Structure 1
Amino acid sequence: MTSTLERHMVTIGGLRVGHGPAVVIGGRVSLRPHRGQVDAREALGERATLVEPYSAADLPAIAALADAVVVGATWTRDIPLVRAAAGLGLPVVVERRPSASVAEWVGLAGYCAAEGNDQVVLCEGGRLDLGVLRAARAASGRPVLADVSRDPGLAAAAVAAGADGLVVAGPGGSGGPGGSGGSGASGPTDEAADVRAAEEAVTLVGALLRPESPATLAECREAIDRVDAALATLLERRAALAGVVQRLKPVGGFAGRDLARERALVARMATRAPQLGEERLAAVMNAVIEAGLHLAEERARR
C-alpha cells in the first residue's frame, strides 16, 4: 500500500476483503475441468463463493449461484469473456498468468473496472510469487488474495507478504492456475485442515503484522481476540524455551534468575513498546518469567 492510493474494499460472501483483518475464503470452484460438457448449474449444485467459468455459457449460472466470478489465469487474454464476466455485476477476482508482469496484471483489473465494475480483487495462485503479490497490492491499491490451495504451508508467508485474504479450494475446486485441487503432486489434501491452517495464519501472523483500525466495539474486540491468540501462542513457546534453559543452567529455578539479564530484556522490549514503557513491561515480564519457572518446577517433579 502506498500513501497516494486509497485502499479499495470488496465484499465477497459477506467477507470484507481489503479492510481490517485478512480473511479466509473457501469454496473456490473451477468449471474448466467440465469443458462445457456439464450444465454449470448441475456442476455447481449449490451456492459457491468463487467460481471460474469455462466459457461465457457458464456465466448465467455463476450470476445466480456465486458470490464472485474468477477471471482465471488461463483465459485472461480472452477479452470478450473478461468483459462478459465483469458485466455480471459480481465481484471479479482476477488471477495472474504465471508469466504476466505486475503492470499486465493490474492493467487487466483496471480493464474490468472500465467495464463499469470496480469490485475487483487481484489473486496470486499456482506457484506463489509473494514479491509480485506485494508489488501489485502497492501499485494498484486493490485487495490481493493468495490462493494457497496447492501449498497451504505458504499461508503464513502470504499473510506476512500483505495478502488481504487466503483462498482454499473446495471439493472439486482448483488449486490455482493450472491446478486441479490438492497440494502439488502429493494428491488431495484435507480441506478442513487446510482451512484451519489458513485461519491460524490470518489470526497469528495478521495480529503481528497487519495494522487494523476497528470502527465498532465488536470489531475492536475481534481484533483484541486475534492479538490475544498470538500472545498465547508466543507465551506457550516462551515457556517451552524457558524450560530448556532451566535444564541447561548450572543453577535452575527461582534461585538461578539473572536479574541483570531480565532488566536488559525489558529495556530492549521497551524500544518496541514505548507507550507501555519499562516499568509496566517489567511487571508483565516478571509475571511471565515466574509462570515459566513454576511450570518448569512442576515438570521437574513429575
Structure 2
Amino acid sequence: MDLHDRDTPVMIAGPAADPDVAVVSLRRLHGRANAAAELTRVRRSYHGPLLVEPFSALDLPAIVTHADGVVVGGAWMQDFQLLRAVARTGRPVVVQRAPAATLEEWLSAAEYCVAEGNQDVVLCETGTRTHLPHATIDLSLVRAAGRHRPVLVDVSAAPDLAVAALSAGACGLLLGEDAESAVVAGVRAKAALLGALTCDDVPETIPGARAAIDRVDAALATLLERRAELAATVQRLKPVGGFAGRDPRREREIVEAMVSRAPRLGADRLGRIMTAVIETGLEASEERDLSPA
C-alpha cells in the first residue's frame, strides 16, 4: 500500500459506505478490546486498505496480520519507543502532528521510523487547537513539512480548505466518513484539477507515468469543458456569434500568451491545438443552442 502514490489526491476515511481507506483507532478503546478480535471484526465487512492506530505496542502483531498501515496519533507522536516499534513492523506509517508540535518535533518523529529502516513514512496534519470550535490547519507548516516528507491534511472539519492545502503542498486530503456526498464530489473535482497542476513528481515506471497522464487528462477535460462554457457565454454576448463571429486577432493573442507558459511546444503546435479547442467549443455551443429545450 503506497499512501502517497494514488490516482486521486483525496482519500475518504472510513469505514463508510465506500471509503478509499478505512481508519480504525484502537486507542479509543483504551485497551479494553482485544486487537486481533476487533480487527477481525472489521475485516469481515471491509477488505480495502486499512490503517490502524494502536493503543500500545502490544497491538502491533494483530495490526501486521490484518492492516496495511499504522497510524501514530498526534497524542502519541513523541512516544519514541512506540514509533520505533511501529516502524519495525515494515508497514507504512502515518505520523499525525500533535496539536502544539513544532515542525522540528514532527519531522523528528518521522526520523525515528526511518532510523529503524522504514522509509515509507507519511506525515498527517490534523490541526492546532485554537479559540475556534475545531482544530485549525496550519498551512505554512504543511508547506514546510512537505519539503521533507509527503504530507496528508485532514480537512474533515473544514473541506473548504482542500484547495489551499493542496496549494500548500499536501500530497493528499482526508475527509471523514460523515462527509456529505456533495462535499466529497466537490473536493474530489477540485483536487483532481489542482493535484495535476501542482504535482512535480517524475514517474519511474510505465504504469506510474500512465497514472500521472490520467491525472493530467482529467484536469484537461475539466478545463476544456469550463473553457467551452465561457466561450459560449462570449458568443451569446457578441453581436455576431458562432463561427461567423471569430476574432483572428484575439485568437493570435491567446496563442502568444500560451507560448510564454509552454515555450517547448512552440507557437505552431499551440496554434493548431487552440484552433481545435476553439472550433470544438464553437461546435458544442451551436449544438446546445440548436438542441430542443
Return the TM-score normalized by structure 1. 0.77
Residue 212 of structure 1 and its aligned partner are, at CA, apart by 3.2
CA distance in 2, matches of 1:145, 1:50: 14
Aligned-residue CA RMSD (Å): 2.8
1:164 aligns with 2:154: no
Q: Is the 8 A contact 1:160 1:209 kept in 2?
A: yes
Trace 1:68-79 onto structure 2 (pairs within 5 A): 68-79=69-80
Q: Percent identity?
A: 52
2:109 maps to 108
Q: Distance in 2 between matches of 1:190 and 1:41?
A: 31
CA distance in 1, matches of 2:52, 2:181: 17
Which residue among 126, 130, 134 is the counterpart of 2:139?
130
| CA shift in 2, pair 1:190/1:58, >3 Å | farther
Cα–Cα, structure 1 residues 271 and 125, in superposed 2: closer, same or farther, change >3 Å?
A: same
Unaligned runs of 5+ in 2: 12-19, 128-135
Provide Cα deviations, 1:45-96, integer angstroms capped at 9, x if missing partner. 2265221122333222222222221110122233443343334333322111
**1:204 — aligned with what?**
193
Q: Secondary structure at the match of 1:70?
A: strand
From the superposition, tell whether residues 254 and 192 of structure 1 become closer, same or farther in structure 2 (CA, over 3 Å).
closer
**What is the aligned length?**
269
Partners of 1:219 and 1:77 in 2: CA distance: 34
Q: 1:29 aligns with which of 24, 29, 35?
A: 24
For residue 274 of structure 2, what is the aligned residue in structure 1?
Answer: 285
Q: Tell me, what secondary structure is at the counterpart of 1:158?
A: helix
Partner of 1:266: 255
Return the alpha-carbon distance in structure 1 between the equivalents of residues 276 and 118 of structure 2: 54
- 2:35, 2:59 within 8 Å by CA — same for their partners in 1? yes
1:237 deviates by 0.3
What secondary structure is seen at the aligned counterpart in 2 of 1:38? coil
Contact 1:239/1:292 (<8 A) preserved? yes
Contact kept? 1:155, 1:197, Cα under 8 Å: no
Q: Which has the higher contact order (CA 8 A, sep 6+)?
A: 1
Distance 2:6 2:244 in 1: 49
Would the alpha carbon gap of residues 198 and 63 (structure 1) be closer, same or farther in structure 2, given more than 3 Å must change?
Answer: farther
Q: Aligned equivalents of 1:245 and 1:155: distance in 2?
A: 31
Shift of 1:128: 2.5
Query: What residue identity is the alignment partner of 1:157?
Result: A
Identify unmatched segments of 5+ residues in structure 1.
Answer: 1-12, 169-180, 183-187
Q: Determine the C-alpha separation between the residues in 1 that align with 2:114 and 2:96.
A: 15
Amino acid at match of 1:224: I
Between stretches 90-99 and 149-158, larger displacement belongs to: 149-158
Matched residue type, 1:210: C
Q: 1:93 to 1:241 in 2, by over 3 A?
A: same
**Counterpart position of 1:185:** none
Letter in 1 for 2:4: V
**In structure 2, the residue corresponding to 1:17 is in which secondary structure?**
coil
Post-superposition Cα deviations, 1:172-206, rounded to whole Å, max 9, x if no partner, equal: xxxxxxxxx55xxxxx2258974x66654553222
Asked whether the equivalents of residues 57 and 85 of structure 2 are also in contact (C-alpha less than 8 Å), the reply is yes
The answer to which of 261-270 and 276-285 deviates more is 276-285
Higher mean C-alpha deviation, range 229-238 or range 71-80: 71-80
